[in-house]
């Protein structure tokens, strides 16, 4: 059963800019789905159309089986939206913002009192419930938008850059919250620039670039496409003595760091042996970039090259 179905979605802005070029996208119920892409790729336009904040040019959007145009009322009831930018009345109190949003879904303050408390406690906002929203920190404001989006218990939650500008500790606690929510049955669709976030949380991923879906697959399958991985080694010793290893691309960053590019399935034992023989000690090791990040860059670059070639040919 699909939670979100997008068919042939096109968006042409007034200035003629084609933000979406007829995309198709399906998100299954219960999925934790990431829509990734560089800035201006069409992510926010797609989610904007699904959230009824942006007018589509053509195509169809169906939410939990309800067409967004023909059955707007039912479709909108299934959706909770956490936008990228703060979009609540800064002068209202935290609790009032939540209760007002519930009212828009036909739920009275009395009906949602218990759920509002649960949400605000879970998101660490209960103590701030009587404060004006403008007094909250950036992270709190972001959590307030999550609480607001969940007050009517939507079946699908859309999060546009939910952890942008949030510190690491808070980001991780928000990840836990979202994971739990997904485990309880809520379908989550998010966009993020933190690819680690998508890799950690999501089951399926679509990458959008220049208004087109470049890839739409599971995180596992996508990571399976990874051809190489770059490791950074912090070392102690004389790197001049390191013999050349023909199966590896090794770059000397400086006297204390080496970058080793490893093909898929290729081990690092040979590198470690060579380093040990040369009397070089490996102090620590890390991947240069997140695995998904490497793939993302490759896919987007390839797509841009194809697009540039087509433009030149035209």
Partner 1 sequence: MAQDINNAQNEQRIERSVFSIQWVAFSTIVIKEVRRFMRIWQQTLLPPAITMTLYFIIFGNLIGSRIGKMDGVDYMSFIVPGLIMMSVITNSYGNVASSFFGNKFQRSLEELMVSPVYPSVILAGYVMGGVARGVMVGLIVTLLSLYFTDLQLHNLPVVIVVTFLSAILFALGGFINAIFANKFDDISIIPTFIITPLTYLGGVFYSISLLPEFWQNVSMLNPILYMVNSFRYGILGVSDVSISAAISMLIVFIALLSSISIWLLKRGTGMRS
Residues at the interface with partner 1 (CB under 8 A): 13, 48, 51-55, 72-74, 76-77, 79, 81, 83, 85-91, 96, 100-101, 103-108, 148
Choose between 130 and 284: whose C-beta lies nearer to partner 1: 130
CB 179 within 8 A of CB 203: no
The minimum distance between CB 111 and partner 1, in angstroms, equals 9
- Separation in Å, CA 222 to CA 115, 149, 180, 236, 255: 38, 30, 24, 35, 35
Choose between 53 and 297: whose C-beta lies nearer to partner 1: 53
Choose between 98 and 292: whose C-beta lies nearer to partner 1: 98
Choose between 88 and 177: whose C-beta lies nearer to partner 1: 88
- Separation in Å, CA 309 to CA 23, 154, 297, 313, 314: 21, 44, 18, 6, 9
Minimal CA–CA distance to 112: which of 146, 152, 82, 160? Answer: 152
The minimum distance between CB 159 and partner 1, in angstroms, equals 13
Classified as helix, coil or strand, 218 is: strand
The minimum distance between CB 112 and partner 1, in angstroms, equals 11
The minimum distance between CB 263 and partner 1, in angstroms, equals 46
Choose between 54 and 285: whose C-beta lies nearer to partner 1: 54
CA 213 – CA 27 distance, rounded (Å): 14
Strands (DSSP E) found in the chain: 2-12, 18-28, 32-36, 58-63, 66-67, 79-82, 156-160, 187-191, 204-209, 212-218, 228-236, 249-254, 257-263, 281-287
The minimum distance between CB 83 and partner 1, in angstroms, equals 7
The minimum distance between CB 101 and partner 1, in angstroms, equals 6
CA 245 – CA 4 distance, rounded (Å): 50
130 bridge partner residues: none
The minimum distance between CB 47 and partner 1, in angstroms, equals 11
Residue 220 structure tokens: 């596992």
Choose between 87 and 301: whose C-beta lies nearer to partner 1: 87
Choose between 105 and 175: whose C-beta lies nearer to partner 1: 105
Residue 252 structure tokens: 């000397």
The minimum distance between CB 156 and partner 1, in angstroms, equals 12
Choose between 78 and 245: whose C-beta lies nearer to partner 1: 78
CA 300 – CA 250 distance, rounded (Å): 25
């Amino acid at each position: 059963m699909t939670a979100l179905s997008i068919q042939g979605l096109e968006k042409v802005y007034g200035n003629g800019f084609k933000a979406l070029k007829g995309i198709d996208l399906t998100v299954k119920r219960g999925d934790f789905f990431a829509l990734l892409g560089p800035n201006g790729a069409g992510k926010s336009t797609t989610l904007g159309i699904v959230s009824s904040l942006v007018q589509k040019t053509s195509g169809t959007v169906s939410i939990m089986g309800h067409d967004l145009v023909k059955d707007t009322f039912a479709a909108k009831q299934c959706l909770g939206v956490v936008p990228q930018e703060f979009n609540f009345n800064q002068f209202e109190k935290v609790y009032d913002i939540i209760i007002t949003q519930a009212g828009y879904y036909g739920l009275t303050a009395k009906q949602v009192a218990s759920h509002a408390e649960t949400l605000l406690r879970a998101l660490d906002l209960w103590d701030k419930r009587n404060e004006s929203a403008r007094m909250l920190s950036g992270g709190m404001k972001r959590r307030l938008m999550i609480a607001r989006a969940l007050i009517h218990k939507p079946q699908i939650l859309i999060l546009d850059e939910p952890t942008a500008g949030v510190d690491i500790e808070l980001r991780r606690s928000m990840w836990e919250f979202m994971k739990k929510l997904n485990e309880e049955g809520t379908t989550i669709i998010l966009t993020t620039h933190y690819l680690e976030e998508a890799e950690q949380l999501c089951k399926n991923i679509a990458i959008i670039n220049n208004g087109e879906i470049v890839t739409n697959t599971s995180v596992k399958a996508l990571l399976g496409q990874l051809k190489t991985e770059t490791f950074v080694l912090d070392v102690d010793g004389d790197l001049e003595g390191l013999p050349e290893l023909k199966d590896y691309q090794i770059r000397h960053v400086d006297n204390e760091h080496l970058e080793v590019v490893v093909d898929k399935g290729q081990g690092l034992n040979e590198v470690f042996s060579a380093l040990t023989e040369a009397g070089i000690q490996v102090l620590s090791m890390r991947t240069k970039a997140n695995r998904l990040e490497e793939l993302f860059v490759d896919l987007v670059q390839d797509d841009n090259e194809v697009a540039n070639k087509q433009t030149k040919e035209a």
